[in-house]
Structure 1
Amino acid sequence: MKMYAGISRAYVPLLLAQLGVIAWAPLHLLSWSYAVVLAMLALTVLLCWRRRCVSVAHNRPLWSLLLLALVAQGCAFGLLFTDSLSNPQGTLVAFDPTLYFCLSSLLLTIAAAYNPVATLYRWASIVDALLACAIATLFYYTLHQVLNAATQESATATFVMRMFDAMGLFVAVFATLRLVSTKRSDERRFFFVLTVFAWLDAVLPGIHNRFILSSESYLPELLLGLPFVVLGFLLGRRRKVWLRSYRPSRRIRHFAESISPFVMSLALCCLAFAQLGKNPFLATIMLILAITSYAARNAIVLGQHLAFEDDLRKLKRGLQQAIVRDDLSSLLNRRGFYRLLRREWAGALETGRALSVAMIDIDSFKAFNDTYGHLAGDDCLVAVAHALQREASQQPDVVVARYGGEEFVALMGGYDPATSEDILQRLRRRVEAMQIRHARSIKDVVTISAGLASTATARYPDSDKFLNAADGALYVAKRNGRNCIHRAGDTG
């Protein structure tokens, strides 16, 4: 942290040195000024490199892109410095540096488009990067045409200045859109730095260019290094999370994410229209590229969203099943059974269809657990559940659920009491036939008892009273010696 503060403080003497150079006005003033700007840029590159090294792994490509953009600007200012050595008065716009300024804008645009976390936008980010390359290439090609065909120096300088203003504004707007849509604090730290630098790099050089076109003062040269000074200050605040409390709303996030590819395609279309009169073939190719890339990006995002929707539907179905299913036995749990019972009860009231319910309990299950252990008890529950399910599945409209503990419940629709009792007897015999050893049972094997209630033999006010009647019949079956079935309403 001390090293960061020490490097950040080094900007102050550099700013004072540049101001002194302008005040002193030596013969090679521009050379001295560009040398100071290069020193500021070198400090900023060092801070950006350090920030890249300490950032989390998935954010390092972002900081690397910013670092490369600064290096590209360093190359551009290096060429300007070299040009100023042979031409102390300076050239209005040197051609060679434009390549590196375009490359810097390209890298900043790719950084704003790159998504380091979500694999959803990985292919979309590749499309955006290709689109950014096309924009930078066509921008540079347009500048090359204008500078090669220059007939009037002032008109050419004004056109080039406006072109760079438009490019800077495009990068700044694109970075801002990404900042306002970012949810993660670590990414927001980067995109805040990128957005501030992009706006400064668009506005301050634009002001500088207008001043040198309208005045002979060298004071505007101070503006060239200020973006790197502010960027260095932001990079020096290593632990600072900018806009910590900001959380983008869903509407803002969706708007920013949807408008960003449109902005890139629109920028390429504008450059392509500028070439229609000079190079129709190139303009047509770029227009096709702008339209197809926009369509391809939307198709990629739409396809991945549809895949996510399918996954969410599967997950929803799985959660719905988990809510109503018992984990151990895979039968309906109590919640699922109550839903089924309320639905069948309402249908029985409307149609007059007979409905039977049975409470089933494993006999002396506590003694089984005490004798063989709880793991063996779980195995016993699973075996009994599967036996009940297999037998019930052979009869239509018979559902078995786990009510809780060692209790199960069976719901039978459309059966008279005698048939319902016969189905329960088959369930009881199926469990007994498994011959699961139970030394403390009356049969020396695991058995079940059941209590049965039917709407055909009694009128119940609601489904709860209906179920309570079956539960009461189960206690009678227990008192009658277990391994038997008792029907509610029967005596004995």
Structure 2
Amino acid sequence: MKVQSWTPKIYAPLLLGHLGVLLFAGEDWILAGSYAFVLAMLALTVLLCWRRLRLSISHNTPLWGLLLGALLSQGVAFGLLLVDALHHPQGTLVAFDPTFWFCLGSFWLIAAAAYNPLTPMRRWTTAIDGALACAIVLLFYLMLHRLLTADHPQQAAARYVMWLFDGMALFVALFAVLRFIATRRADERRFHFVLATFACIELVIPAVHNRFILSSESWLPEWLLGWPFVVLGLLLSRRHTVWLGGYQPALRVRQAAASIAPLMLSLALCLLGFAQLGRDRPLAMGALILAVAAYGVRTTVLLGYHQAVEEQLRGLRRDLHHKSVRDELTGLLNRAGFRQVLRRAWQDAVRAKRAFAIAVIDVDNFKSFNDTYGHLAGDDCLSLLGHTLRTEAGKQPGVVAARYGGEEFVVLLSGLPAREAEAMMQRLRQHVEALQIRHINSAHGVVTISAGLAVMPAGTSLASEKLLRAADEVLFEAKRDGRNRIQCATTTTPAPTATA
């Protein structure tokens, strides 16, 4: 039988039994019986939470563990109330030890809402938030302790304590709801929905219970005490359900919720500190200093983290751009990178009235080389040619080499007149031939290159695309005339053009 089907069948008799005790038990056993049934419902909820913790992924295990800690703390508190009821059948208004354990339960709920261990930065901020939550609960408990041990009229003290607990419950509920809004992961949203629901019920039902107790002599309000654990248990029994799965708050809403939540911790501690100024000035000042310092440290940690992330993103963008314009095999510019460099270099040459040349290079008989030695050998050959072109081009300012596609390469020669540009290309051809890459189907016995060179003399202007096309045309002449040679064409035009 599935857990979600038998869970209601256990809670229902417990709720009915609790109601029966309140209606029919004797005066000496009503309160003790009521707490016993509450503890039974709480024990079942603890078991369901323990099951959920065991079945959860490791990422979420601490979250369910913190919720389990809150339930166990409340279990201790109700256990102490049961012991007190056995000795004092009419009950005490507020017991000292149960108050401490109720406060501890609130701490675990706040810690669960603040927990976020995704990155080292998040672990640091979680630790800071945890320290603030601990300070809030400790100061809250000290206020209750002083109030309960002071000489105040019982009714006035009870109402003040009631309002204090309402304030703490309201803070926990708001903090849990904000954390739910700021969560994106489906598995975390499932947990934070359960947490926020439980925190909201813990706000409403105890508040209603306390007011009925103060204004009525009836024991029936005690029936409300078990309902938060029943609702939580029913939620815990449904393991795979993602509540409000279609609810996706806008990015700004999530960011606002994530920013407000830590501010709430500091503000709550400040308010408690101000409340203690008239009673314990050193303690109040310590609380205020801790609230401001913790928020400042948290902000500094976040700022440093975001600056580091921004620097990493800039580095990734640089790497991505580098890869997008570079050929992986040869390390030269690819066609896209060549187009960018060509546009800028051509514009600079026209503006400065410098000579500008483009050479289109083709590896001779490369298809035959691939067929004979295999494509891996062909890749090695192109890689070695690319290294040679890159090395030689780097020796001369204004010379840039790129892989245009397949076995074709291009070289931009900015500021070199026709004679120097041709000499440069002859040196490149000779260096490639000197590599002595064996090619039995070549007339020279080794891998060679042919190139077509088109030069725009200084003071003239020709569209870069036309210059590239001219270099490609004379490359075919070099191929037709025997390969392993450089064919040069000087191109001029009297009218400048505005296109690149």
Shared fold by TM > 0.5?
yes
Give distance in 1, aligned partners of 2:415 and 2:460.
16
Give distance in 2, aligned partners of 1:389 and 1:79.
82
Deviations 1:291-333 (A, max 9, x none): 1001111111111111111110100000000000000111100
Give distance in 2, aligned partners of 1:459 and 1:407.
27
What residue number does 1:427 align with?
428
Q: Give the 5 Å matches for 1:312-391.
A: 312-391=313-392
What residue number does 1:165 align with?
166
Q: Give the 5 Å matches for 1:28-427.
A: 28-427=29-428
State the Cα distance separating 1:25 from its structure 2 match: 4.2
Give distance in 2, aligned partners of 1:328 and 1:279.
73
State the Cα distance separating 1:477 from its structure 2 match: 0.4
Give distance in 2, aligned partners of 1:121 and 1:341.
47
Q: State whether residues 356 and 458 of structure 2, in contact with CA within 8 Å, keep that contact through their aligned partners in structure 1.
A: no
What residue number does 2:3 align with?
3
What residue number does 1:24 align with?
24
Deviations 1:113-166 (A, max 9, x none): 001434431100001111111111111111111111132111111111111111
Counterpart of 2:450 in 1: which secondary structure? strand
What residue number does 1:463 align with?
464
Counterpart of 1:488 in 2: which secondary structure? strand
Superposed CA RMSD in Å reads: 1.4
Give distance in 1, aligned partners of 2:238 and 2:71.
18
Give distance in 2, aligned partners of 1:221 and 1:423.
97
Q: Is 1:14–2:14 an aligned residue pair?
A: yes
Deviations 1:201-260 (A, max 9, x none): 111101110111111111211211110010011011111011111223221121111111
* Shift in alpha-carbon separation, 1:8–1:120, aligned structure 2, 3 A: farther
Q: State whether residues 447 and 483 of structure 1, in contact with CA within 8 Å, keep that contact through their aligned partners in structure 2.
A: yes
Q: State whether residues 456 and 490 of structure 2, in contact with CA within 8 Å, keep that contact through their aligned partners in structure 1.
A: no
Q: Which consecutive unaligned segments of at least 5 residues does structure 2 have?
A: 492-500
Counterpart of 1:10 in 2: which secondary structure? helix
The letter for the 1-side match of 2:307 is L
Counterpart of 1:410 in 2: which secondary structure? strand
Give distance in 1, aligned partners of 2:119 and 2:186.
15
Q: State whether residues 400 and 410 of structure 1, in contact with CA within 8 Å, keep that contact through their aligned partners in structure 2.
A: yes
Counterpart of 1:176 in 2: which secondary structure? helix
Q: State whether residues 353 and 459 of structure 2, in contact with CA within 8 Å, keep that contact through their aligned partners in structure 1.
A: no
The letter for the 2-side match of 1:254 is Q
The letter for the 1-side match of 2:210 is N
State the Cα distance separating 1:279 from its structure 2 match: 1.0
Deviations 1:368-416 (A, max 9, x none): 1111111111111111111111111111100000111111100011111
Q: State whether residues 350 and 461 of structure 2, in contact with CA within 8 Å, keep that contact through their aligned partners in structure 1.
A: no
What residue number does 1:436 align with?
437
The letter for the 2-side match of 1:159 is Y
What residue number does 1:447 align with?
448
Q: State whether residues 115 and 126 of structure 2, in contact with CA within 8 Å, keep that contact through their aligned partners in structure 1.
A: yes
Segment drifting more, 187-196 vs 340-349: 340-349
Give distance in 2, aligned partners of 1:452 and 1:149.
100
What residue number does 1:480 align with?
481
Q: State whether residues 40 and 229 of structure 1, in contact with CA within 8 Å, keep that contact through their aligned partners in structure 2.
A: yes
Deviations 1:31-82 (A, max 9, x none): 1111111010011001101111111111010001001100000000111111
Give distance in 2, aligned partners of 1:345 and 1:458.
13
What is the TM-score with the length of structure 1 in the denominator?
A: 0.97
Q: How many residue pairs align between the two structures?
A: 490
Give distance in 2, aligned partners of 1:8 and 1:421.
90
Counterpart of 1:62 in 2: which secondary structure? helix
Q: State whether residues 418 and 490 of structure 2, in contact with CA within 8 Å, keep that contact through their aligned partners in structure 1.
A: no
Q: State whether residues 59 and 116 of structure 1, in contact with CA within 8 Å, keep that contact through their aligned partners in structure 2.
A: no
What is the TM-score with the length of structure 2 in the denominator?
A: 0.96
State the Cα distance separating 1:346 from its structure 2 match: 2.3
Q: State whether residues 183 and 248 of structure 1, in contact with CA within 8 Å, keep that contact through their aligned partners in structure 2.
A: no
Q: State whether residues 417 and 457 of structure 1, in contact with CA within 8 Å, keep that contact through their aligned partners in structure 2.
A: no
Segment drifting more, 250-259 vs 65-74: 250-259
The letter for the 2-side match of 1:18 is H
Give distance in 2, aligned partners of 1:192 and 1:26.
40
Q: State whether residues 454 and 467 of structure 2, in contact with CA within 8 Å, keep that contact through their aligned partners in structure 1.
A: yes
Counterpart of 2:236 in 1: which secondary structure? helix
State the Cα distance separating 1:457 from its structure 2 match: 9.0
The letter for the 1-side match of 2:7 is I
Give distance in 1, aligned partners of 2:95 and 2:183.
38
Q: State whether residues 350 and 459 of structure 2, in contact with CA within 8 Å, keep that contact through their aligned partners in structure 1.
A: no
State the Cα distance separating 1:191 from its structure 2 match: 0.1
Q: State whether residues 182 and 248 of structure 1, in contact with CA within 8 Å, keep that contact through their aligned partners in structure 2.
A: no
What residue number does 2:496 align with?
none
